[in-house]
Amino acid sequence: MELLNIQCLGKSLRLEGSMAGWQILYWDNTPVSRIDADADYNGASEHSFELQAGEQVINCRLAIQLNWQPFKLQHRLFIDDQAISDGNRDSKDIERQEPVQAPEPAKKPFSIVGLAALGLKLFKSAKLIKVILAGASLAAYSWFFSIQFALALIACLVIHEYGHIRAMKHFGMQTKGIYLIPFLGGLALSDEKINTRWQDVVISLMGPVFGLLMSVLCLFAYWITGEAFFAGLSAFNALLNLFNLLPILPLDGGHVLKSIAFSMNSLVGLLLCAGAAGAGIFVSYYLGLALLGFLLIIGCLEIGFEWRSRYMTHLLPLDRYGQIFSTLWYLATVSGLIAIIWYFAGSGDALLGLPLQVLRS
């Protein structure tokens, strides 16, 4: 991931690295220094390199003190043993940065014109694609269920994806909007990539959070009006969002738990995560939620298999506070959705009790 980007002799001096300890320093997109991964890496490093300015050779040094959790980077740049710049960076700076894109090879004028024309056509057709996919989703769900259920299901999907969109915009990311895909749900797209695990957690959780709020509002509407439609919408929307929180990639829950587990830089952290997951599995089976417990096992195994590659990520990890807060936020959202499902299951209505039966299957 990009750790630092400053000016040196009128050109960009960019430092990239990972939690494993390796660092590569670029000057004007040209590598000038490299530090390999080291098991004894303690956060302090120094890059010594030479730059050519005309016929003159300039000796440079970049001293780095890096702490990952919480993230803080201190740097000082020396030219001919004279300090010319220094500063600090924290996680907020990483969130706001725009990663440098590798320069593209020059293209012939006619190719540029052709690609520009194609891009303009695709841009104009984006809204048309959304309408076509939405219409196909409505038709597909109406064919298998009813037009009323199809409209309600699409409303649930749109509210869920809108939560993702709002989170992306909160971080200043450009979005492409919401795409409904028949029988696969919805998709919120962005033009930009995330830089931190915290962004991944917030973007992933805001979809289910908006879904939970919709279920709560429908519950209130049911209490006020007594209409069974609002009760059914609240219960099935809660089930839909609960499945999105299962710890299986690419579901939202998989992104959240992966961000938490991969931010832990010790075996103790992994054991704590495994213990919490084991408690969740025990509670699921104790309450008779067999399907939920089974899928939790699959998700935990998946995260365990990928844990060793956590140091090679280009995403800034969560600090201790972020890990705890993300875990509590995730559990609170899951608990809220299960509470709504459980509430309607106790109403005595067979249809409203169906979501709980699904979890027990």
DSSP state string for 237-281: HHHHHHHHTSS-TTSHHHHHHHHHHHT--SHHHHHHHHHHHHHHH
pLDDT band at 102 (very low <50, low <70, confident <90, very high): very low
Tell me what the mean pLDDT of segment 297-305 comes to: 69
| Range of lowest pLDDT (9-23, 184-198, 262-276) | 262-276
| Range of lowest pLDDT (30-34, 77-81, 250-254, 345-349) | 345-349
Residue 207 has pLDDT above 80, yes or no: yes
| Range of lowest pLDDT (109-118, 195-204, 250-259) | 109-118
Query: Contact 68/89 with Cβ under 8 angstroms?
Result: no
Tell me what the mean pLDDT of segment 327-333 comes to: 93
Crossing angle between the packed helical segments 197-225 and 320-345, to the nearest 10 degrees: 20
| Range of lowest pLDDT (101-105, 123-127, 215-219, 235-239) | 101-105
What is residue 93's predicted lDDT score, i.e. its pLDDT? 81
pTM over 0.75: no
In percent, how much of the chain has pLDDT > 90? 13
Please report the domains of the chain, with CATH numbers, ordered by start residue.
2-96 (2.40.128), 104-193 (no CATH), 194-361 (no CATH)
Tell me what the mean pLDDT of segment 227-237 comes to: 86
Count Cα atoms within 13 angstroms, Cβ side, for 197. Answer: 30
In whole angstroms, how far apart are CA 233 and each of 29, 150, 292, 354, 359?
54, 11, 21, 12, 17
Rounded to 5°, the CA angle 330-337-163 comes to 65
More confident residue, 354 or 23: 23
Residue 257 has pLDDT above 60, yes or no: yes
pLDDT band at 309 (very low <50, low <70, confident <90, very high): low
